[in-house]
Amino acid sequence: MSDRMRELIDILNKYAYHYYVLDEPIAADKEYDKLYDELCAAEKATGIVFADSPTKRVGGEVLKGFKKYTHKQRLYSLDKCQSAEELKKWFEKINASYKNTAFTLEYKFDGLSVNLLYKDGLLKTAATRGNGVTGEDVTAQIVTVKTVPLKIPYTGTVEIQGEVIMKKSALSRYNQKNPDAPLKNERNAAAGAVRNLDPTVTASRMLDVIVYNVGYSEESLFGTQSEMVVFLKNNGFRVAEYFKKSCDIEYLTECVSEINAKREGLDYLIDGAVIKVDDLNIRDELGYTEKFPRFSVAYKFEAIEVTTVLKEVKWQVSRTGKINPLAILEPVELCGVTVARATLSNISEIKRKDIRINSKVFIRRSNDVIPEITGIAEHYTDSVEVAPPTFCPSCGSELRYDNIFIYCTNQDNCRDIIVSKLEHYASKDAMDIVGLSEKTVEVFYDKLNLRTIPDLYRIKSEELAVLDGFQEKKTENIINSIKASLNTELADFIYALGIENIGKKAGKELAANFRSLDAVKNAAAEEITEMRDFGGITANNVYDYFHNEKNLNMIDELFSIGLQINDVKKKSGNAGVFLGKTVVLTGALASFKRSQAKEIIESNGGETADTVSNKVNLVVAGSDAGSKLDKAQKLGIEIIDEEKFSALIAKLKK
């Protein structure tokens, strides 16, 4: 039994390594799950759990507190520079004594540093940096991070340093699944997850660890930073994909600018670049100051966090009736723009962060246009608590509290709800009705009794002509634009409806997957959940919207007025073997990443979908394909295996 367990663990860890560290899955989820279940059963039967068993990754019991860990090698902070001149000065100082020595350049990850102790090939302890000498033992938390190997080939004692991060894509996936308690910032989300006493919370955040240094080792293992990276890679760690080595400061400075330019587009936060002397002997000679190593420096990019005073919290009624807090700030410069407003999620976040009016707060640039308040810098004697609203600030109706959110109960008649619903409907990414701004919608609400989306289409030019500021040309433009919007694309229409949690991207995904409004209307919640990035809550939002009589009547009314939705057509024009075909990929492909296979299909005239329906023409089934394959067989859809798929592509290449 224990031989089989050993074998299972080795296979499962290999699969996980390919999936999480290399980003190149070699097994189907179903195959992994089958072996995993077998291992669980064996562990239960024998009562034995090996040190590197993947079953340890789900997160164990809630801890009472953190133990201390004394680092074998102190963890230092990094000296900083912020301009090319400062970097050059630093470089020249070293170059004066070590002519033509090489430097390496890496990303400076913006997460939480972690120190991993391995002994006899096993992960023994993971600890935070703390004060550099001792940190907190967060082993139970870090074990849940799939990119941290529990077992490595090297059997000596080593401490390996890296950064715990939450990828931007992981954060957005998490938020799609947990729209009630969204995370705002990847760094805080990662740090909060590691410092959480409940390791299952850590596990739920889908963190990564990227390593960059061997801090301590009992023997000399390599002579340079470059060799160190190879050692780390060979031992199964994830290292940064960006790594440069050069003795030319001009070149390295260019690299820093290059990194800065592509920083926004990376899937993780970085706040600078780290330049290090490559040769470890020279590092020893240079040594450390009280706080920093002398052999490395961090080039810090412009701060994305500043402090300012919170002057007021306004409560805004959104199109769904949710009443959101908006922070009004003392204007402050952040990343080159003046900022006077920031978002705050909800009242419970305000309480949790102890955010008060007249206090000094931290604000940080976020992925949204409008920055967020991350915490409190200082309270003053005149700081006052933020009071939640007692009535709807727009219509004065009673409020409904749903978990942490507050809603106006007057859905059909609240002015702000109607105005923002219509403004959203008309916006550029939705129905693109030119000239129908928030202000105009307000005027129409007040003067023309505009209450619903269909009302929009009943507005007559004579009615507009008597309004202030509506000259003939303007009136004509708006009326034409309203009329033109009756012919629309499916994705834009779904988005325009303003369904809770359905943004532009989700609208597009729904349209691409279901292809017609009827199909979206009739989709079961489970079918929607099957789509990537759609969690249970968002799926229910869609389902509920289309199972609400009022909404359905409103849509029918639009159709009777003349609405025409162009269903999503199979792509044409672009010739190719997949021309006009909708293809579903399922199971594990041995020689393609999913994303590659998708791209090949799409660039050859085809489209891909996540779920099998009778709109699908072809299913490519890799090894161990599951329920999608069964469904395709039932529906009589053409199915090909990887070999055939490769053959089709080989033809393309000729």
Residues that bind ligand AMP (CB under 6 A): 75, 77-78, 106-109, 113, 129, 163, 212, 274, 298
Applying CB under 5 A, does 418 fall inside the site for Zn ion? no
Q: Which two tokens stand for residue 622?
A: 């890799």
Separation CA 105–CA 82 (nearest Å): 15
Applying CB under 5 A, does 406 fall inside the site for Zn ion? no
In whole angstroms, the minimum distance from the beta carbon of 503 to Zn ion comes to: 23
- 106 touches, from ligand AMP, Zn ion, none (C-beta below 5 to 8 Å by class): ligand AMP
Residues across the chain: 654
Contact segment (CB under 5 A) with Zn ion among 69-77, 402-410, 455-463, 605-613 equals: 402-410
How many CA atoms within 13 Å lie on the side-chain side of 575?
Answer: 1
CB neighbourhood size of 353 (10 A): 16
Applying CB under 5 A, does 419 fall inside the site for Zn ion? no
Token match 């990276």: residue?
Answer: 229
- 129 touches, from ligand AMP, Zn ion, none (C-beta below 5 to 8 Å by class): ligand AMP
What is the DSSP code string of 431-467?
Answer: T--TT--HHHHHHHHHHH---SHHHHTT--HHHHHTS
Contact segment (CB under 5 A) with Zn ion among 182-190, 252-260, 397-405, 540-548 equals: 397-405
Catalytic-role residue among 14, 89, 93, 108: 108
- 235 touches, from ligand AMP, Zn ion, none (C-beta below 5 to 8 Å by class): none
Residue number, 158 or 430, with CB nearest to ligand AMP: 158
Residue number, 191 or 554, with CB nearest to ligand AMP: 191
Residue number, 129 or 319, with CB nearest to ligand AMP: 129
- 343 touches, from Zn ion, ligand AMP, none (C-beta below 5 to 8 Å by class): none
Please tell me what DSSP assigns to residue 65.
S
Query: What letters, b where the CB count within 10 A reaches 16 and e where it falls short, cover 264-275?
Result: eeeebbbbbbbb
Residue number, 129 or 571, with CB nearest to ligand AMP: 129
Find the binder of Zn ion among 202, 394, 475, 582 (CB under 5 A). Answer: 394
Applying CB under 5 A, does 408 fall inside the site for Zn ion? yes
Residue number, 43 or 163, with CB nearest to ligand AMP: 163
Residue number, 293 or 389, with CB nearest to Zn ion: 389
In whole angstroms, the minimum distance from the beta carbon of 8 to Zn ion comes to: 58
Structural contact between residues 207 and 63, judged by C-beta atoms closer than 8 angstroms: no
- Amino acid identity of residue 579, one-letter, is L
- 394 touches, from ligand AMP, Zn ion, none (C-beta below 5 to 8 Å by class): Zn ion
Identify which of 470, 653, 467, 522 has the alpha carbon closest to the alpha carbon of residue 576. Answer: 653
Applying CB under 5 A, does 395 fall inside the site for Zn ion? yes
Query: What letters, b where the CB count within 10 A reaches 16 and e where it falls short, cover 560-573?
Result: eeebebeebeebee
Separation CA 364–CA 338 (nearest Å): 13
- 410 touches, from ligand AMP, Zn ion, none (C-beta below 5 to 8 Å by class): Zn ion
Structural contact between residues 596 and 622, judged by C-beta atoms closer than 8 angstroms: no
In whole angstroms, the minimum distance from the beta carbon of 322 to Zn ion comes to: 11
Q: What are phi and psi of 306, to 5 degrees?
A: -140, 170
In whole angstroms, the minimum distance from the beta carbon of 273 to ligand AMP comes to: 8
- 298 touches, from ligand AMP, Zn ion, none (C-beta below 5 to 8 Å by class): ligand AMP
In whole angstroms, the minimum distance from the beta carbon of 390 to Zn ion comes to: 13
In whole angstroms, the minimum distance from the beta carbon of 316 to Zn ion comes to: 11
Residue 129, H or E segment: none
Query: What letters, b where the CB count within 10 A reaches 16 and e where it falls short, cover 389-407?
Result: beebbbbebebeeeeebbb
DSSP reduced 3-state for 628: helix
- 418 touches, from ligand AMP, Zn ion, none (C-beta below 5 to 8 Å by class): none
Query: Residue 108 catalytic?
Result: yes
Separation CA 34–CA 104 (nearest Å): 44
How many CA atoms within 13 Å lie on the side-chain side of 472?
Answer: 0
Find the binder of Zn ion among 410, 501, 513, 613 (CB under 5 A). Answer: 410
- 315 touches, from ligand AMP, Zn ion, none (C-beta below 5 to 8 Å by class): none
Please tell me what DSSP assigns to residue 54.
G
Find the binder of Zn ion among 142, 183, 392, 629 (CB under 5 A). Answer: 392
In whole angstroms, the minimum distance from the beta carbon of 235 to ligand AMP comes to: 17
In whole angstroms, the minimum distance from the beta carbon of 164 to ligand AMP comes to: 9
Give the interface size with Zn ion as a residue count (CB under 5 A).
7
In whole angstroms, the minimum distance from the beta carbon of 108 to ligand AMP comes to: 4
The contacts of residue 198 (CB under 8 Å, 6+ apart) are 59, 62, 63
Residue number, 269 or 632, with CB nearest to ligand AMP: 269
CB neighbourhood size of 60 (10 A): 16
In whole angstroms, the minimum distance from the beta carbon of 411 to Zn ion comes to: 8
- 414 touches, from ligand AMP, Zn ion, none (C-beta below 5 to 8 Å by class): Zn ion
Structural contact between residues 316 and 326, judged by C-beta atoms closer than 8 angstroms: yes
In whole angstroms, the minimum distance from the beta carbon of 272 to ligand AMP comes to: 8
Residue number, 283 or 515, with CB nearest to ligand AMP: 283
Residue number, 295 or 407, with CB nearest to ligand AMP: 295
DSSP reduced 3-state for 555: helix
Residue number, 207 or 347, with CB nearest to ligand AMP: 207
CB neighbourhood size of 360 (10 A): 16
Residue 260, H or E segment: helix 249-262
Q: Which residue is nearest to ligand AMP (CB)?
A: 113
Separation CA 630–CA 70 (nearest Å): 55
Find the binder of Zn ion among 28, 117, 414, 583 (CB under 5 A). Answer: 414
Residue number, 212 or 543, with CB nearest to ligand AMP: 212
- 118 touches, from ligand AMP, Zn ion, none (C-beta below 5 to 8 Å by class): none
- The Cα-based distances of 600 to 597, 606, 617, 644, 650 in angstroms read 5, 9, 16, 14, 11
| Catalytically annotated residues | 108
Q: Interface with Zn ion by CB under 5 A: which residues? A: 392, 394-395, 397, 408, 410, 414
